[in-house]
Structure 1
Amino acid sequence: MANMFAKAGLVALIALAPLGVSAKDDPGRQFIVKAIQGNMAEIAMGQLAQQKGASDGVKSFGQMLVQDHSAAKDQASAAATAAQVTPPTEPNKEQKATYDRMSKLSGAAFDRQFVAHMVADHKKEIGEYQKEAKRSDGAISDYAKATLPTLQKHLETAQSLERQVKAAR
Protein backbone atom coordinates (compact mmCIF):
# COMPACT_ATOMS: atom_id res chain seq x y z
CA MET A 1 0.00 0.00 0.00
CA ALA A 2 2.85 2.40 0.85
CA ASN A 3 4.36 1.58 -2.54
CA MET A 4 1.07 2.55 -4.18
CA PHE A 5 1.18 5.96 -2.43
CA ALA A 6 4.80 6.41 -3.47
CA LYS A 7 3.90 5.68 -7.09
CA ALA A 8 0.93 8.05 -6.91
CA GLY A 9 3.20 10.75 -5.49
CA LEU A 10 5.72 10.19 -8.27
CA VAL A 11 3.00 10.42 -10.91
CA ALA A 12 1.80 13.68 -9.32
CA LEU A 13 5.33 15.08 -9.31
CA ILE A 14 5.83 14.19 -12.97
CA ALA A 15 2.49 15.70 -13.91
CA LEU A 16 3.19 18.92 -12.02
CA ALA A 17 6.84 19.33 -13.03
CA PRO A 18 5.97 21.59 -15.99
CA LEU A 19 4.38 24.09 -13.59
CA GLY A 20 7.86 25.20 -12.55
CA VAL A 21 7.21 24.94 -8.83
CA SER A 22 10.53 24.90 -7.02
CA ALA A 23 11.78 25.01 -3.47
CA LYS A 24 13.31 28.44 -4.15
CA ASP A 25 9.84 29.98 -4.52
CA ASP A 26 8.75 29.57 -0.91
CA PRO A 27 10.42 29.37 2.53
CA GLY A 28 8.19 26.41 3.43
CA ARG A 29 9.41 24.55 0.38
CA GLN A 30 13.01 25.39 1.30
CA PHE A 31 12.35 24.10 4.81
CA ILE A 32 11.00 20.74 3.66
CA VAL A 33 13.98 20.13 1.37
CA LYS A 34 16.35 20.90 4.26
CA ALA A 35 14.26 18.75 6.60
CA ILE A 36 14.51 15.73 4.32
CA GLN A 37 18.26 16.23 3.92
CA GLY A 38 18.57 16.59 7.69
CA ASN A 39 16.65 13.38 8.28
CA MET A 40 18.90 11.50 5.86
CA ALA A 41 21.98 12.92 7.59
CA GLU A 42 20.67 11.93 11.03
CA ILE A 43 19.95 8.40 9.83
CA ALA A 44 23.52 8.09 8.54
CA MET A 45 24.95 9.56 11.76
CA GLY A 46 22.82 7.20 13.83
CA GLN A 47 24.15 4.24 11.89
CA LEU A 48 27.68 5.53 12.38
CA ALA A 49 27.10 5.91 16.13
CA GLN A 50 26.00 2.30 16.34
CA GLN A 51 29.22 1.22 14.61
CA LYS A 52 31.78 3.62 16.12
CA GLY A 53 30.39 4.56 19.52
CA ALA A 54 32.24 3.45 22.62
CA SER A 55 29.38 3.74 25.11
CA ASP A 56 26.13 1.86 25.15
CA GLY A 57 24.35 5.22 25.52
CA VAL A 58 25.78 6.55 22.26
CA LYS A 59 24.99 3.31 20.44
CA SER A 60 21.44 3.31 21.80
CA PHE A 61 20.99 6.96 20.83
CA GLY A 62 22.23 6.09 17.35
CA GLN A 63 19.54 3.42 17.11
CA MET A 64 16.91 5.96 18.24
CA LEU A 65 18.10 8.43 15.58
CA VAL A 66 17.82 5.83 12.82
CA GLN A 67 14.34 4.79 13.88
CA ASP A 68 12.90 8.25 14.52
CA HIS A 69 14.49 10.03 11.56
CA SER A 70 13.50 7.23 9.16
CA ALA A 71 9.88 7.78 10.15
CA ALA A 72 10.33 11.57 9.98
CA LYS A 73 11.92 11.31 6.54
CA ASP A 74 8.89 9.38 5.27
CA GLN A 75 6.54 11.97 6.75
CA ALA A 76 8.60 14.86 5.34
CA SER A 77 8.67 13.25 1.91
CA ALA A 78 4.88 12.91 1.99
CA ALA A 79 4.58 16.59 2.99
CA ALA A 80 6.95 17.55 0.16
CA THR A 81 4.87 15.59 -2.32
CA ALA A 82 1.69 17.23 -1.05
CA ALA A 83 3.35 20.63 -1.53
CA GLN A 84 4.54 19.64 -5.00
CA VAL A 85 8.22 19.70 -4.01
CA THR A 86 10.61 17.09 -5.35
CA PRO A 87 12.26 15.46 -2.31
CA PRO A 88 16.08 15.45 -2.31
CA THR A 89 17.83 12.09 -2.52
CA GLU A 90 20.88 12.74 -0.32
CA PRO A 91 22.18 14.97 2.46
CA ASN A 92 23.77 18.30 1.57
CA LYS A 93 27.54 18.84 1.17
CA GLU A 94 28.04 20.12 4.72
CA GLN A 95 26.23 17.12 6.18
CA LYS A 96 28.32 14.75 4.05
CA ALA A 97 31.52 16.49 5.21
CA THR A 98 30.49 16.13 8.85
CA TYR A 99 29.77 12.44 8.31
CA ASP A 100 33.16 11.94 6.63
CA ARG A 101 34.96 13.71 9.50
CA MET A 102 33.09 11.70 12.14
CA SER A 103 33.65 8.40 10.32
CA LYS A 104 37.40 8.77 10.91
CA LEU A 105 36.92 8.81 14.69
CA SER A 106 36.25 5.93 17.04
CA GLY A 107 35.81 5.14 20.71
CA ALA A 108 35.73 7.95 23.28
CA ALA A 109 36.86 10.54 20.71
CA PHE A 110 33.90 9.61 18.52
CA ASP A 111 31.50 9.78 21.47
CA ARG A 112 32.67 13.30 22.45
CA GLN A 113 32.44 14.70 18.92
CA PHE A 114 29.19 12.90 18.14
CA VAL A 115 27.25 14.11 21.18
CA ALA A 116 28.57 17.66 20.81
CA HIS A 117 27.45 17.65 17.17
CA MET A 118 24.04 16.19 18.06
CA VAL A 119 23.43 18.88 20.71
CA ALA A 120 24.34 21.72 18.35
CA ASP A 121 22.52 20.19 15.39
CA HIS A 122 19.29 19.49 17.26
CA LYS A 123 19.25 23.01 18.78
CA LYS A 124 19.49 24.44 15.27
CA GLU A 125 16.86 22.06 13.91
CA ILE A 126 14.40 22.82 16.70
CA GLY A 127 14.66 26.55 15.92
CA GLU A 128 13.99 25.93 12.24
CA TYR A 129 11.08 23.58 12.95
CA GLN A 130 9.53 26.03 15.43
CA LYS A 131 9.73 28.81 12.85
CA GLU A 132 8.09 26.63 10.19
CA ALA A 133 5.42 25.37 12.60
CA LYS A 134 4.32 29.01 13.10
CA ARG A 135 4.48 29.94 9.41
CA SER A 136 1.17 28.64 8.13
CA ASP A 137 -1.20 25.74 7.90
CA GLY A 138 -0.61 22.95 5.45
CA ALA A 139 1.28 19.70 5.06
CA ILE A 140 4.71 21.22 5.64
CA SER A 141 3.86 23.12 8.82
CA ASP A 142 1.85 20.12 10.06
CA TYR A 143 4.97 17.99 9.59
CA ALA A 144 7.07 20.54 11.50
CA LYS A 145 4.58 20.65 14.39
CA ALA A 146 4.35 16.86 14.59
CA THR A 147 8.14 16.38 14.54
CA LEU A 148 9.10 18.95 17.17
CA PRO A 149 8.50 16.72 20.24
CA THR A 150 10.81 14.04 18.79
CA LEU A 151 13.54 16.57 18.08
CA GLN A 152 13.23 17.93 21.62
CA LYS A 153 13.54 14.39 22.99
CA HIS A 154 16.67 13.91 20.88
CA LEU A 155 18.17 17.15 22.20
CA GLU A 156 17.51 16.13 25.80
CA THR A 157 19.09 12.72 25.18
CA ALA A 158 22.12 14.26 23.47
CA GLN A 159 22.58 16.76 26.32
CA SER A 160 22.40 13.96 28.88
CA LEU A 161 24.95 11.93 26.95
CA GLU A 162 27.19 14.98 26.64
CA ARG A 163 27.18 15.37 30.45
CA GLN A 164 28.03 11.66 30.83
CA VAL A 165 30.87 11.86 28.31
CA LYS A 166 32.34 14.94 30.04
CA ALA A 167 32.06 13.27 33.45
CA ALA A 168 33.88 10.18 32.17
CA ARG A 169 37.00 12.14 31.21
Structure 2
Amino acid sequence: MSRMASLFRTTSVVVLMGLGANSAWAQSPAEFINDASAKGMADIETSRMAHGKAESREVKDYTIMVINDRTTANQHLAKIAKKLDLPVAPREEVADKAKALMPQVKEGESFEAAYAASQVKATEEAIAQIQEEAQTTEVPEIKAFADETLPKLQTHLEMARALQASR
Protein backbone atom coordinates (compact mmCIF):
# COMPACT_ATOMS: atom_id res chain seq x y z
CA MET A 1 0.00 0.00 0.00
CA SER A 2 1.40 3.41 -0.91
CA ARG A 3 2.21 5.92 1.78
CA MET A 4 -0.52 8.25 0.49
CA ALA A 5 -3.15 5.49 0.57
CA SER A 6 -2.08 4.54 4.08
CA LEU A 7 -2.30 8.16 5.22
CA PHE A 8 -5.72 8.54 3.59
CA ARG A 9 -6.97 5.35 5.25
CA THR A 10 -5.70 6.43 8.69
CA THR A 11 -7.20 9.89 8.26
CA SER A 12 -10.54 8.41 7.19
CA VAL A 13 -10.66 6.18 10.27
CA VAL A 14 -9.84 9.11 12.55
CA VAL A 15 -12.54 11.27 10.93
CA LEU A 16 -15.13 8.51 11.21
CA MET A 17 -14.21 7.93 14.85
CA GLY A 18 -14.63 11.65 15.47
CA LEU A 19 -18.04 11.66 13.82
CA GLY A 20 -19.15 8.70 15.90
CA ALA A 21 -17.81 10.28 19.07
CA ASN A 22 -19.80 13.42 18.33
CA SER A 23 -23.11 11.54 18.49
CA ALA A 24 -21.97 9.41 21.41
CA TRP A 25 -21.33 12.57 23.40
CA ALA A 26 -24.92 13.77 23.32
CA GLN A 27 -25.66 16.48 25.84
CA SER A 28 -27.51 15.84 29.07
CA PRO A 29 -30.89 17.60 29.25
CA ALA A 30 -29.41 20.28 31.54
CA GLU A 31 -26.41 20.83 29.24
CA PHE A 32 -28.70 21.04 26.23
CA ILE A 33 -30.99 23.56 27.93
CA ASN A 34 -28.08 25.74 29.09
CA ASP A 35 -26.33 25.63 25.72
CA ALA A 36 -29.48 26.17 23.65
CA SER A 37 -30.55 29.02 25.96
CA ALA A 38 -27.18 30.76 25.57
CA LYS A 39 -27.35 30.42 21.80
CA GLY A 40 -30.92 31.70 21.83
CA MET A 41 -29.93 34.65 24.00
CA ALA A 42 -27.05 35.47 21.63
CA ASP A 43 -29.48 35.32 18.72
CA ILE A 44 -31.90 37.64 20.54
CA GLU A 45 -29.22 40.18 21.49
CA THR A 46 -27.64 40.14 18.02
CA SER A 47 -31.07 40.66 16.47
CA ARG A 48 -31.85 43.55 18.85
CA MET A 49 -28.58 45.19 17.85
CA ALA A 50 -29.32 44.51 14.17
CA HIS A 51 -32.80 45.99 14.51
CA GLY A 52 -31.25 49.26 15.69
CA LYS A 53 -28.54 49.36 13.03
CA ALA A 54 -30.37 47.94 10.02
CA GLU A 55 -31.70 50.25 7.37
CA SER A 56 -33.81 47.86 5.31
CA ARG A 57 -37.36 46.96 6.27
CA GLU A 58 -36.78 43.28 5.42
CA VAL A 59 -33.89 43.01 7.90
CA LYS A 60 -35.86 44.85 10.59
CA ASP A 61 -38.87 42.55 10.06
CA TYR A 62 -36.61 39.50 10.23
CA THR A 63 -35.05 40.69 13.50
CA ILE A 64 -38.48 41.10 15.10
CA MET A 65 -39.45 37.55 14.12
CA VAL A 66 -36.17 36.15 15.49
CA ILE A 67 -36.49 38.08 18.76
CA ASN A 68 -40.08 36.90 19.29
CA ASP A 69 -39.50 33.25 18.32
CA ARG A 70 -36.22 32.84 20.22
CA THR A 71 -37.67 34.52 23.32
CA THR A 72 -40.59 32.07 23.22
CA ALA A 73 -38.15 29.16 22.74
CA ASN A 74 -36.01 30.26 25.70
CA GLN A 75 -39.10 30.60 27.89
CA HIS A 76 -40.10 27.07 26.86
CA LEU A 77 -36.62 25.78 27.78
CA ALA A 78 -36.85 27.49 31.18
CA LYS A 79 -40.23 25.82 31.82
CA ILE A 80 -38.78 22.42 30.88
CA ALA A 81 -35.83 22.94 33.24
CA LYS A 82 -38.16 23.94 36.07
CA LYS A 83 -40.57 21.05 35.44
CA LEU A 84 -37.76 18.49 35.38
CA ASP A 85 -35.96 20.17 38.30
CA LEU A 86 -32.78 20.41 36.24
CA PRO A 87 -29.77 22.38 37.40
CA VAL A 88 -29.33 25.33 35.09
CA ALA A 89 -26.45 27.74 34.72
CA PRO A 90 -26.81 31.13 36.43
CA ARG A 91 -28.19 33.83 34.14
CA GLU A 92 -24.85 35.69 34.18
CA GLU A 93 -23.02 32.57 32.96
CA VAL A 94 -25.53 32.11 30.14
CA ALA A 95 -25.25 35.82 29.27
CA ASP A 96 -21.43 35.61 29.17
CA LYS A 97 -21.62 32.58 26.89
CA ALA A 98 -24.13 34.42 24.69
CA LYS A 99 -21.80 37.44 24.37
CA ALA A 100 -18.99 35.17 23.18
CA LEU A 101 -21.29 33.79 20.46
CA MET A 102 -22.25 37.18 19.02
CA PRO A 103 -20.78 37.91 15.58
CA GLN A 104 -18.19 40.60 14.98
CA VAL A 105 -18.42 42.93 11.99
CA LYS A 106 -15.12 43.19 10.11
CA GLU A 107 -13.73 46.54 8.98
CA GLY A 108 -15.40 47.64 5.75
CA GLU A 109 -18.09 44.95 5.89
CA SER A 110 -21.75 45.87 5.66
CA PHE A 111 -23.50 45.32 8.98
CA GLU A 112 -26.56 43.85 7.29
CA ALA A 113 -24.40 41.44 5.25
CA ALA A 114 -22.48 40.37 8.37
CA TYR A 115 -25.72 39.92 10.30
CA ALA A 116 -27.33 37.85 7.53
CA ALA A 117 -24.24 35.62 7.24
CA SER A 118 -24.10 35.14 11.01
CA GLN A 119 -27.79 34.27 11.08
CA VAL A 120 -27.36 31.57 8.43
CA LYS A 121 -24.50 30.01 10.40
CA ALA A 122 -26.14 30.34 13.84
CA THR A 123 -29.47 28.99 12.62
CA GLU A 124 -27.88 26.02 10.85
CA GLU A 125 -26.04 25.21 14.09
CA ALA A 126 -29.19 25.59 16.20
CA ILE A 127 -31.15 23.30 13.89
CA ALA A 128 -28.40 20.66 13.98
CA GLN A 129 -28.16 20.84 17.78
CA ILE A 130 -31.91 20.55 18.34
CA GLN A 131 -32.29 17.75 15.79
CA GLU A 132 -29.50 15.75 17.41
CA GLU A 133 -30.91 16.26 20.89
CA ALA A 134 -34.41 15.30 19.73
CA GLN A 135 -33.02 12.06 18.26
CA THR A 136 -30.96 11.10 21.31
CA THR A 137 -32.96 12.32 24.29
CA GLU A 138 -35.38 10.23 26.28
CA VAL A 139 -37.07 13.38 27.62
CA PRO A 140 -40.48 13.88 25.96
CA GLU A 141 -40.53 17.59 26.84
CA ILE A 142 -37.35 18.14 24.84
CA LYS A 143 -38.78 16.19 21.91
CA ALA A 144 -41.89 18.40 22.07
CA PHE A 145 -39.67 21.50 22.22
CA ALA A 146 -37.89 20.31 19.07
CA ASP A 147 -41.19 19.64 17.29
CA GLU A 148 -42.37 23.17 18.11
CA THR A 149 -39.09 25.00 17.49
CA LEU A 150 -37.58 23.35 14.41
CA PRO A 151 -40.21 24.58 11.90
CA LYS A 152 -39.67 28.16 13.12
CA LEU A 153 -35.91 27.79 12.81
CA GLN A 154 -36.31 26.37 9.30
CA THR A 155 -38.27 29.51 8.39
CA HIS A 156 -35.55 31.68 9.97
CA LEU A 157 -32.91 29.83 7.93
CA GLU A 158 -34.77 30.29 4.64
CA MET A 159 -35.23 33.98 5.35
CA ALA A 160 -31.61 34.46 6.49
CA ARG A 161 -30.37 32.79 3.31
CA ALA A 162 -32.58 35.12 1.25
CA LEU A 163 -31.23 38.14 3.16
CA GLN A 164 -27.68 36.91 2.64
CA ALA A 165 -28.24 36.43 -1.09
CA SER A 166 -29.65 39.96 -1.43
CA ARG A 167 -26.71 41.65 0.30
Return the TM-score normalized by structure 1.
Answer: 0.72
On the 8 A contact 1:83/1:139 being kept in 2, the answer is no
Alpha-carbon separation, structure 1, partners of 2:47 and 2:87: 25
Q: Which has the higher Rg, Structure 1 or Structure 2?
A: 2
Alpha-carbon separation, structure 1, partners of 2:74 and 2:107: 26
Q: Give the CA deviation at 1:30.
A: 1.1
Runs of 4+ with >6 A deviation: none
Q: Percent identity?
A: 28
1:145: which partner in 2?
A: 147
1:121: which partner in 2?
A: 122
Q: Give the match's secondary structure for 1:101.
A: coil
Q: Give the CA deviation at 1:61.
A: 0.8
Residues 18-76 of structure 1, C-alpha deviations (whole Å, 9 max, x = no match): xxxxxxxx622211111111221111111111101122111111111111111111111
Alpha-carbon separation, structure 2, partners of 1:97 and 1:59: 23
* Cα RMSD, aligned residues only: 2.5
| Count, aligned residues | 139
On the 8 A contact 1:82/1:139 being kept in 2, the answer is no
Alignment-mate amino acid for residue 38 of structure 2: Q
1:1-169 superposed matches below 5 A: 27-88=28-89, 89-90=91-92, 91=94, 93=96, 95-99=98-102, 101-102=104-105, 109-135=110-136, 136-165=138-167
Q: Which segments of 5 or more consecutive residues in structure 1 lack a partner in the other structure?
A: 1-25
On the 8 A contact 1:48/1:62 being kept in 2, the answer is no
Q: Which segments of 5 or more consecutive residues in structure 2 lack a partner in the other structure?
A: 1-26
Q: Give the CA deviation at 1:100.
A: 7.3
Alpha-carbon separation, structure 2, partners of 1:164 and 1:57: 10
Task: Provide closer, same or farther for how the CA distance between residues 148 and 154 of structure 1 changes in structure 2, counting only shifts above 3 A.
Answer: same
